[in-house]
Structure 1
Amino acid sequence: MDVTNAPEHRRYEARIDGELAGVAEYRASDRIVTFVHTEVMSAFEGKGVGSALVRGALDDVRAQGKKVRAVCPFVKGYVEKHSDEYGDLVA
């Protein structure tokens, strides 16, 4: 699975064998990335795509030196569940 930032669409994309498997939509400012919606395509549900997508997105946000605001319940839950690893990213 590849997770990449697609800033032209304001989302991170997860692709499996080139096929779009999930997206994490966001709004970004100079310092904060606000995740607003995460969706896994039905053909890929239950395969860990959402978690891998969010993990990749959060790692990328960290690499950019930015903070995260989680409006999306899935992203918020992921950050809370993995607070030891990602709690420092919360704006």
Structure 2
Amino acid sequence: MTDALPEIRLEDTGSKGRYFIRSAAGDEAEMTFSKAGEHLIIIDHTEVPEAFRGQGAGLRLVARAVEDMRAAGKKIIPLCPFANAQFRKHAEWADVLKG
């Protein structure tokens, strides 16, 4: 991962939300989620445009969600194939994975 990427921002619309990184040129990498009750989110989509490829943007988005949900005492269902693959690679995230 690189620290050269812009900051990750959170947009929360009540029942849904997204984490995103926006470049100066306006490109956006995003990971969207839906809320399933008070203590659970479902990561349903991750998209990383060509401008962000190879920079660890997708992993940073998922990792940020893990950090935030851990701090809030919530669990994650990684429905998105990319997020699911990241959870399989990161055993240290097991505490936030809804089993």
TM-score by length of 1: 0.86
Instruction: Give the number of aligned pairs.
Output: 90
Match of residue 70 from structure 1: 78
**Does 1:31 find its partner at 2:36?**
no
CA displacement, residues 8-39 of structure 1 (integer Å, 9 cap, x when unaligned): 26111123458453111100121101000000
1:41 Cα offset (Å):
1.8
CA spacing shift, 1:17–1:60, aligned 2, 3 Å: farther
State the identity %: 31
How far apart, CA to CA, are the structure 1 residues paired with 2:54 and 2:41?
26
How far apart, CA to CA, are the structure 1 residues paired with 2:80 and 2:90?
16
Name stretches of at least 5 consecutive residues in structure 2 with no aligned partner.
Answer: 1-5
Decide which structure has the larger Cα Rg and report it: 2
How far apart, CA to CA, are the structure 2 residues paired with 1:2 and 1:49?
10
TM-score by length of 2: 0.80
CA displacement, residues 24-81 of structure 1 (integer Å, 9 cap, x when unaligned): 1100121101000000122111111111111111111111110000100111111110
Q: How does 1:41-60 map to 2 (within 5 A)?
A: 41-60=49-68
Say which structure is richer in helix.
1
Name stretches of at least 5 consecutive residues in structure 1 with no aligned partner.
Answer: none
How far apart, CA to CA, are the structure 1 residues paired with 2:27 and 2:40?
25
Say which structure is richer in strand.
1
**Does 1:5 find its partner at 2:13?**
no
Could you list the structure 1 runs, at least 4 aligned residues long, displaced by more than 6 angstroms after superposition: none
